[in-house]
Amino acid sequence: MVKPMNADTTLETDTISLDEMIALSRAFQKSRIFLTAYELEVFTVLADEEKSSKEIAAAINADHRATDRLLNALCTLKVVKKSGDTFKNCRDAARYLVKGKPGYHAGLMHTLHIWNSWDTLTEAVRHGGLVGQRPVEERDPEWFVGFIAAMHRRAVKEAPGLISSLDLSGVSRVLDVGGGSGAFAMAFAKAHDSLQATIFDLPKVVSLTQKYIEQEGLNHRIDTVAGDYNKDALPQGYDLAFLSAIIHSNSFEQNQALFLKIGKALNPGGKIVVSDFIMNEDRISPESGTIFALNMIVNTPAGDTFTESEVRSWMQAAGMSFVERHGGVMIGKKD
């Protein structure tokens, strides 16, 4: 006879061991090592050469012993290699982490900003939102440079596939709300030769947006309008309004008001397309959305990730009679 398993011996597949919890508590250390090296421009100093820790310390104006230990730790992370007393970048570090190179990943500066925000998580949970930082619209222009660079790198990878999945029949004018670098607007323009796009974003953003558009030679197809969608009216006369990574920055009430504005900005038969973390009703899936909800807690006054039913309610209130979801994309069509 098989003895029944009691509560203490039941195998659990949805939990972790003590050792795993301890490892989880220390996971930040490797991230901080890497980000500190990036912030100190260690990879840029190394570039394509081999240098001693003494040379690197002098170049970054840092303590020699501490720099040497940092470099040794970077070797264990496999981003730097050591040969005798000299260090060199690994192949991809030399390709992506050296300032001035075409592949330089400037968006990691935004990750450094996020690190500082996450340090406030305990107080942010107590308070219910942003602690000790200015709201995004009030931050320095330099903050926006890193932020938009990070968003652009993500968007240029996602945009072509997402745009190709949309039905753009009858769409000649697109309003990209909070369009950032313009990566999605540019993908719309490239998808259809006759399509015109407008990017609506904060004044500190559109000055950067225009540079991205110029680099792609699409000035004649894409224009920008500066404004704050929480305070200002949106331009009107569009066939499609697009929002990528926007709704998570706002409160429920702000999104509700924003969608009403978008409804007014659309022509009859117009569409709203939202690409974001769309949570299932249990709010614990998808997993990435649960973590990102906390990212919004520490970085915004009231941002969050929202469920399908919440997004659907905003679209319906804005006059969308038909609403459908495809993973992290929701589409609403106006009467």
Report residue 117 as tokens.
Answer: 């925000």
Contact 132, 153 (CB under 8 A): no
pLDDT digits (tens, 9 = 90+) for 200-209: 999 999 999 9
Q: Is the pLDDT of residue 6 over 80?
A: no
Domain match, 176 and 31 both: no
Interval 8-20 mean pLDDT? 72
Domain presence at residue 110 = no
Residue 83 confidence class, pLDDT cut points 50, 70, 90: very high
Joined tokens for residue 271:
């569409």
Give the pLDDT band of residue 12 (cuts 50, 70, 90).
low
Secondary structure class of 122 (helix, strand, coil): helix
Please check whether residue 199 lies inside any domain of the structure.
yes
Instruction: Tally the domains of the chain.
Output: 2
Q: Is residue 13 in some structural domain?
A: no
Same domain, yes or no: 56 and 150 = no
Tokens for 305, please give them: 């990730």
**Is residue 225 situated within a structural domain?**
yes
Q: Is residue 173 part of a domain?
A: yes
Structural domain that includes position 53: 18-101
- What confidence tier does 13 reach under pLDDT thresholds 50, 70, 90? low
Task: Kindly write down the DSSP assignment for every residue of 253-291, as one continuous string.
Answer: HHHHHHHHHHHHHEEEEEEEEEES-EE-TTSS-SHHHHH
Based on the fold, state whether residues 279 and 179 are members of the same structural domain.
yes
Q: Say yes or no: 51 and 150 in one domain.
A: no
Contact indicator for 94, 48 with CB cutoff of 8 Å = yes
Q: Got the DSSP string for 204-265? A: HHHHHHHHHHHHTT-TTTEEEEE--TTTSPPP--EEEEEEES-GGGS-HHHHHHHHHHHHHH
As a whole number, the mean pLDDT across the chain is 93
Q: Does residue 85 sit in the same domain as residue 134?
A: no
pLDDT in tens, 271-322: 999 999 999 999 999 999 999 999 999 999 999 999 999 999 999 999 999 9
Residue of 233, 235, 250 lying closest to 304 (CA atoms): 250
* 154 and 265 housed in the same domain: yes
Structure tokens at 111: 């990750």
Does any domain span residue 12? no
Q: What is the pLDDT of residue 130?
A: 87
Domain boundary among the residues 52, 71, 101 is at 101
**Domain for residue 89, yes or no?**
yes
Distances (CA, A) of 112 to 33, 119, 186, 195, 208: 12, 11, 28, 37, 20
Q: Write the CATH number for 97.
A: 1.10.10.10
Question: Do 127 and 94 lie in a common domain?
Answer: no
Q: What is the CATH number of the domain that holds 281?
A: 3.40.50.150
Same domain, yes or no, for 34 and 136? Answer: no
pLDDT in tens, 147-165: 898 889 889 999 999 999 9
Q: Are residues 28 and 144 in the same domain?
A: no
Report the length, in residues, of the chain: 335
Q: Are 217 and 272 within one domain?
A: yes
Residue 1 scores a pLDDT above 90: no
Q: Do both 139 and 76 map to the same domain?
A: no
With bands split at pLDDT 50, 70 and 90, how would you rate the model's confidence at 138?
confident
pLDDT one-digit tens code per residue, 208-260? 999 999 999 999 999 999 999 999 999 999 999 999 999 999 999 999 999 99
Cβ–Cβ contacts within 10 Å for residue 118, how many?
15
- 46 with 174, same domain? no
Banded model confidence at residue 3, pLDDT cuts 50, 70, 90: very low
